[in-house]
Protein backbone atom coordinates (compact mmCIF):
# COMPACT_ATOMS: atom_id res chain seq x y z
CA UNK A 1 0.00 0.00 0.00
CA UNK A 2 1.35 3.41 -1.02
CA UNK A 3 0.57 5.31 2.16
CA UNK A 4 1.26 8.74 0.73
CA UNK A 5 -1.43 8.17 -1.94
CA UNK A 6 -4.14 7.20 0.58
CA UNK A 7 -6.85 9.70 1.40
CA UNK A 8 -7.28 11.09 4.91
CA UNK A 9 -10.41 8.97 5.31
CA UNK A 10 -8.62 5.78 4.27
CA UNK A 11 -5.84 6.39 6.79
CA UNK A 12 -8.30 7.11 9.58
CA UNK A 13 -10.31 3.98 8.74
CA UNK A 14 -7.22 1.82 9.30
CA UNK A 15 -6.64 3.25 12.78
CA UNK A 16 -10.33 3.03 13.68
CA UNK A 17 -11.37 -0.36 12.32
CA UNK A 18 -8.36 -2.54 11.47
CA UNK A 19 -7.68 -4.23 14.83
CA UNK A 20 -5.11 -6.59 13.30
CA UNK A 21 -3.07 -4.10 11.29
CA UNK A 22 0.61 -5.22 11.21
CA UNK A 23 2.80 -2.94 13.39
CA UNK A 24 5.02 -1.94 10.45
CA UNK A 25 2.04 -0.82 8.36
CA UNK A 26 0.40 0.88 11.34
CA UNK A 27 3.62 2.79 11.99
CA UNK A 28 3.65 4.07 8.41
CA UNK A 29 -0.03 5.04 8.59
CA UNK A 30 0.41 6.91 11.88
CA UNK A 31 3.52 8.71 10.59
CA UNK A 32 1.64 9.88 7.51
CA UNK A 33 -1.31 10.99 9.66
CA UNK A 34 1.04 12.95 11.92
CA UNK A 35 2.55 14.62 8.85
CA UNK A 36 -0.96 15.69 7.85
CA UNK A 37 -1.91 16.73 11.41
CA UNK A 38 -4.82 14.26 11.34
CA UNK A 39 -4.57 13.58 15.08
CA UNK A 40 -4.97 17.24 16.02
CA UNK A 41 -8.76 16.98 16.21
CA UNK A 42 -8.50 14.06 18.62
CA UNK A 43 -5.90 15.89 20.74
CA UNK A 44 -8.15 18.96 20.85
CA UNK A 45 -11.04 16.78 22.01
CA UNK A 46 -8.87 15.29 24.76
CA UNK A 47 -7.94 18.80 25.92
CA UNK A 48 -11.63 19.71 26.14
CA UNK A 49 -12.29 16.55 28.16
CA UNK A 50 -9.52 17.46 30.62
CA UNK A 51 -10.14 21.22 30.91
CA UNK A 52 -13.77 21.69 29.91
CA UNK A 53 -12.91 24.71 27.76
CA UNK A 54 -9.88 26.39 26.23
CA UNK A 55 -10.53 29.54 28.25
CA UNK A 56 -10.20 27.49 31.43
CA UNK A 57 -7.02 25.92 30.08
CA UNK A 58 -5.51 29.39 29.57
CA UNK A 59 -6.71 30.65 32.95
CA UNK A 60 -5.29 27.70 34.85
CA UNK A 61 -2.01 27.24 33.01
CA UNK A 62 -1.49 30.20 30.67
CA UNK A 63 -0.95 27.71 27.86
CA UNK A 64 -2.00 27.83 24.22
CA UNK A 65 -3.63 24.94 22.40
CA UNK A 66 -0.53 24.54 20.21
CA UNK A 67 1.53 23.63 23.31
CA UNK A 68 -0.80 20.74 24.08
CA UNK A 69 -1.02 19.73 20.43
CA UNK A 70 2.74 19.14 20.58
CA UNK A 71 2.31 17.05 23.73
CA UNK A 72 -0.41 15.04 22.01
CA UNK A 73 1.61 14.45 18.84
CA UNK A 74 4.48 13.16 20.93
CA UNK A 75 2.05 10.86 22.75
CA UNK A 76 0.80 9.46 19.41
CA UNK A 77 4.35 8.69 18.31
CA UNK A 78 4.97 6.89 21.60
CA UNK A 79 1.62 5.07 21.58
CA UNK A 80 2.19 3.40 18.20
CA UNK A 81 5.21 1.63 19.68
CA UNK A 82 3.20 0.41 22.67
CA UNK A 83 0.06 -0.69 20.83
CA UNK A 84 -0.52 -4.45 20.55
CA UNK A 85 -2.81 -5.37 17.61
CA UNK A 86 -5.17 -8.32 17.68
CA UNK A 87 -6.59 -7.66 21.16
CA UNK A 88 -9.98 -6.35 20.09
CA UNK A 89 -9.15 -2.66 20.45
CA UNK A 90 -8.46 -0.24 17.61
CA UNK A 91 -5.41 1.99 17.63
CA UNK A 92 -7.74 4.99 17.53
CA UNK A 93 -9.41 4.13 20.85
CA UNK A 94 -6.06 3.17 22.39
CA UNK A 95 -4.31 6.40 21.39
CA UNK A 96 -7.29 8.53 22.50
CA UNK A 97 -6.95 7.13 26.02
CA UNK A 98 -3.16 7.47 25.87
CA UNK A 99 -3.26 11.14 24.80
CA UNK A 100 -5.73 12.05 27.54
CA UNK A 101 -3.60 10.27 30.13
CA UNK A 102 -0.48 12.04 28.90
CA UNK A 103 -2.12 15.47 29.12
CA UNK A 104 -3.23 14.77 32.69
CA UNK A 105 0.30 13.63 33.59
CA UNK A 106 1.76 16.81 32.10
CA UNK A 107 -0.66 18.98 34.07
CA UNK A 108 0.32 17.23 37.30
CA UNK A 109 3.98 17.72 36.38
CA UNK A 110 3.40 21.42 35.68
CA UNK A 111 1.56 21.96 38.94
CA UNK A 112 4.22 20.17 40.97
CA UNK A 113 7.04 22.05 39.25
CA UNK A 114 5.32 25.42 39.75
CA UNK A 115 4.66 24.62 43.42
CA UNK A 116 8.30 23.63 43.95
CA UNK A 117 9.56 26.84 42.35
CA UNK A 118 7.23 28.98 44.44
CA UNK A 119 8.36 27.26 47.62
CA UNK A 120 11.98 27.78 46.62
CA UNK A 121 11.65 31.55 46.09
CA UNK A 122 8.82 32.57 48.40
CA UNK A 123 10.93 33.16 51.52
CA UNK A 124 13.96 34.73 49.82
CA UNK A 125 14.06 38.51 49.88
CA UNK A 126 16.37 41.11 48.37
CA UNK A 127 18.17 43.70 50.50
CA UNK A 128 15.25 46.04 49.80
CA UNK A 129 12.80 43.52 51.21
CA UNK A 130 11.30 42.49 47.86
CA UNK A 131 10.27 38.86 47.61
CA UNK A 132 12.32 36.95 45.02
CA UNK A 133 9.14 35.23 43.81
CA UNK A 134 8.33 38.39 41.84
CA UNK A 135 11.57 38.05 39.87
CA UNK A 136 10.69 34.59 38.55
CA UNK A 137 9.99 34.23 34.81
CA UNK A 138 6.38 34.65 33.78
CA UNK A 139 4.16 31.66 34.44
CA UNK A 140 3.78 31.12 30.70
CA UNK A 141 7.53 30.90 30.14
CA UNK A 142 8.06 28.60 33.12
CA UNK A 143 5.36 26.21 31.99
CA UNK A 144 6.49 26.18 28.38
CA UNK A 145 9.98 25.35 29.61
CA UNK A 146 8.53 22.37 31.50
CA UNK A 147 6.50 21.32 28.45
CA UNK A 148 9.70 21.33 26.37
CA UNK A 149 11.51 19.39 29.08
CA UNK A 150 8.82 16.70 29.03
CA UNK A 151 8.99 16.42 25.24
CA UNK A 152 12.80 16.21 25.22
CA UNK A 153 12.67 13.42 27.81
CA UNK A 154 10.14 11.55 25.65
CA UNK A 155 12.35 11.94 22.58
CA UNK A 156 15.47 10.77 24.43
CA UNK A 157 13.61 7.65 25.52
CA UNK A 158 13.46 6.64 21.85
CA UNK A 159 17.27 6.31 21.71
CA UNK A 160 19.47 3.34 22.46
CA UNK A 161 21.68 3.52 25.55
CA UNK A 162 24.77 4.22 23.42
CA UNK A 163 22.99 6.96 21.47
CA UNK A 164 21.91 8.62 24.72
CA UNK A 165 25.46 8.47 26.10
CA UNK A 166 26.95 10.02 22.97
CA UNK A 167 24.33 12.75 22.72
CA UNK A 168 24.54 13.73 26.40
CA UNK A 169 28.35 13.94 26.28
CA UNK A 170 28.31 15.86 23.00
CA UNK A 171 25.87 18.39 24.47
CA UNK A 172 28.39 18.88 27.30
CA UNK A 173 30.88 20.14 24.67
CA UNK A 174 33.00 17.00 24.32
CA UNK A 175 34.17 16.20 20.79
CA UNK A 176 33.72 12.72 19.34
CA UNK A 177 37.31 11.64 19.93
CA UNK A 178 36.98 12.61 23.61
CA UNK A 179 33.66 10.80 23.83
CA UNK A 180 35.18 7.67 22.29
CA UNK A 181 37.94 7.67 24.89
CA UNK A 182 35.47 8.27 27.74
CA UNK A 183 33.37 5.32 26.57
CA UNK A 184 36.37 3.03 26.21
CA UNK A 185 36.36 3.19 22.41
CA UNK A 186 39.53 5.17 21.76
CA UNK A 187 40.08 5.91 18.07
CA UNK A 188 36.40 5.34 17.22
CA UNK A 189 35.38 9.01 17.06
CA UNK A 190 34.14 8.74 13.49
CA UNK A 191 31.91 5.80 14.44
CA UNK A 192 30.43 7.77 17.34
CA UNK A 193 29.85 10.73 15.02
CA UNK A 194 27.60 8.41 12.99
CA UNK A 195 25.91 7.26 16.22
CA UNK A 196 25.14 10.89 17.02
CA UNK A 197 23.78 11.60 13.52
CA UNK A 198 21.57 8.48 13.68
CA UNK A 199 20.22 9.67 17.03
CA UNK A 200 19.44 13.12 15.62
CA UNK A 201 17.60 11.58 12.66
CA UNK A 202 15.51 9.51 15.08
CA UNK A 203 14.67 12.56 17.19
CA UNK A 204 13.74 14.66 14.16
CA UNK A 205 11.44 11.88 12.96
CA UNK A 206 9.73 11.87 16.34
CA UNK A 207 9.44 15.64 16.60
> How far, in Å, are 10, 28, 75, 201 from residue 204 at the CA level?
26, 16, 15, 5
User: Nearest 10 degrees: CA dihedral of 150, 155, 156, 160?
Assistant: 150
Per-residue pLDDT, 133: 42
Per-residue pLDDT, 136: 43
**CB burial of residue 200 (10 Å; 0-12, 13-18, 19+):** middle
Per-residue pLDDT, 189: 82
Per residue of the chain (207 residues), give pLDDT as tens: 688 899 999 999 999 998 888 888 999 999 999 999 999 999 999 988 888 877 777 776 667 788 888 889 989 988 988 998 888 889 999 999 999 999 888 888 777 766 665 554 444 444 444 444 443 444 445 555 555 666 666 666 777 888 888 877 876 778 888 888 888 888 888 888 888 778 777 766 654
- The CA-based angle 68-72-76, given to 5 degrees, is 170
Per-residue pLDDT, 149: 60
Per-residue pLDDT, 61: 66
String of DSSP letters for 166-202? HHHHHTTT--HHHHHHHTT-TT-HHHHHHHHHHHHHH
Per-residue pLDDT, 37: 92
C-alpha R_g of the chain:
21
Q: CA 115 to CA 122: how far, in whole Å?
A: 10
Q: What pTM was estimated for this model as a whole?
A: 0.57
Domains and CATH numbers, the chain: 8-125 (no CATH), 129-204 (1.10.10)
Amino acid sequence: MKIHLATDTQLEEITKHDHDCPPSLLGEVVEEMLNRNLFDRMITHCCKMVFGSFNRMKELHSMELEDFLQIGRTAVFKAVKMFEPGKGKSFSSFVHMFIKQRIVECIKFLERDRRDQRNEFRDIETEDGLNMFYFMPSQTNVEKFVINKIMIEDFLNQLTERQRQVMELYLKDHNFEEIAEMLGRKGKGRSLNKTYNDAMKKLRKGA
